[in-house]
Amino acid sequence: MIEPSLDGVDNRAEVKAFLSSRRARITPEQAGLTSYSRNRRVPGLRRSEVADLAGVSVEYYAQLERGNLAGASDSVLDALARALHLDEAEHQHLTDLARAAGPAARTRHRAAAQQIRPSVARLLELMTDVPAFVGNGRADVLAANPLAQALYAPMFDDPARPANHARFAFLDPKARDFWRDWDRIATDTVAMLRTEAGRDPYDRALTDLVGELSTRSEEFRTRWAAHDVRLHRTGRKQFRHPVVGDLDLQFETMQLTADPGLTMTMLSAPAGSAGDDALRLLASWATTRPAGRARA
């Protein structure tokens, strides 16, 4: 897991764990190696095999896997990504780790308060037929329209603000009933936090959140140790809502390009589907709930 320190997180330890875990999951057959020893004491590829596939010396790759990514060129990172069969999220994570390894990045900081611009708040207000909310990479919900607040009612029942998807998933017993696919949601949530940690490992609020969840949840610790990362752009969520019952919704997440670090997520169901009917019922129920955006 990422080890917090006085200055943030241990970038070298994260690099070492990430590269070694990616190397361990790839078999020689998957890497396309035609000649290799069958008598292997470790799973996955050897360092020398990764070095050959990436076109770098064994000594240099060993240096990288010991956590020293500072100064690694884009071409070297691209070659490692190909050798280790990294997907888009993993490739970006490797690039983020290399950037964070530079001396200019090694300053622990408290993230500036993220403000919801009036025009964004107005868009949320106008979205009356779909649940929509604005969040950040720490899984905080900074603003949500009434339908999103109604959909995520069990999470918003906690008066702490900002509401946080990760705290809800791992620390609130209601989450396992609320998410019909809790295991997937939990795994995806940790992977997204790991992705954010790669982007900004010296964000104090993120470090504190990871420390809190690691201390209080074995489920979180296990998933965090896997070093998986994931992009959160589109997909399906399966709810068991206390008022409208089971519903499956598709989500789309968009970057707010004028607000670095913020995204807007919208959920919907096909017209005429059971999920669409449930959303309409939920919208009616939402009118009985207190109005207002869920802000930090």
Q: What's the number of domains the chain is made of? A: 2
Decide if 224 is inside a domain: yes
Backbone torsions φ then ψ of 244, nearest 5 degrees: -105, 0
Distance CA 273, CA 61 (A): 53
Quick one: pLDDT band at residue 290, thresholds 50, 70, 90? low
Decide if 111 is inside a domain: no
- The rounded mean pLDDT for the chain is 90
Specify the pLDDT at position 43. 78
CATH number of the domain encompassing residue 148: 3.30.450.180
* Least confident interval from 16-30, 162-176, 227-241, 278-292: 278-292
Same domain, 85 and 122: no
Domain containing residue 24: 4-105
Percent of the chain whose pLDDT exceeds 70: 89
Specify the pLDDT at position 33. 86
Specify the pLDDT at position 34. 78
CATH number of the domain encompassing residue 69: 1.10.260.40
Same domain, 163 and 239: yes
Distance CA 86, CA 94 (A): 9
Task: Please say which residue of 80, 105, 130 terminates a domain.
Answer: 105
Is residue 295 scored above 70 in pLDDT? no
| Residues 34-66: tens digit of each pLDDT | 766 666 777 799 999 999 999 999 999 999 999
In residues, how long is the chain?
296
| pTM for the predicted model, two decimal places | 0.89
Residue 236's SS3 state is strand
Residue 194's SS3 state is helix
Task: Please say which residue of 83, 105, 127 terminates a domain.
Answer: 105
Specify the pLDDT at position 289. 72
DSSP state of 292: S
Backbone torsions φ then ψ of 3, nearest 5 degrees: -95, 115
Is residue 191 scored above 50 in pLDDT? yes
Same domain, 46 and 122: no
Decide if 47 is inside a domain: yes
- Which pair of structure tokens corresponds to residue 292? 């207002």
Quick one: pLDDT band at residue 9, thresholds 50, 70, 90? low
Specify the pLDDT at position 1. 45
| Residues 93-126: tens digit of each pLDDT | 999 999 988 765 555 556 566 889 999 999 999 9
Same domain, 145 and 265: yes
Distance CA 296, CA 293 (A): 9
| Residues 73-85: tens digit of each pLDDT | 999 999 999 999 9
Same domain, 226 and 135: yes
Same domain, 45 and 75: yes
Same domain, 225 and 197: yes
Task: Please say which residue of 105, 136, 158 terminates a domain.
Answer: 105
Same domain, 159 and 227: yes
Specify the pLDDT at position 79. 97
Is residue 280 scored above 80 in pLDDT? yes
Decide if 112 is inside a domain: no
Distance CA 58, CA 47 (A): 7
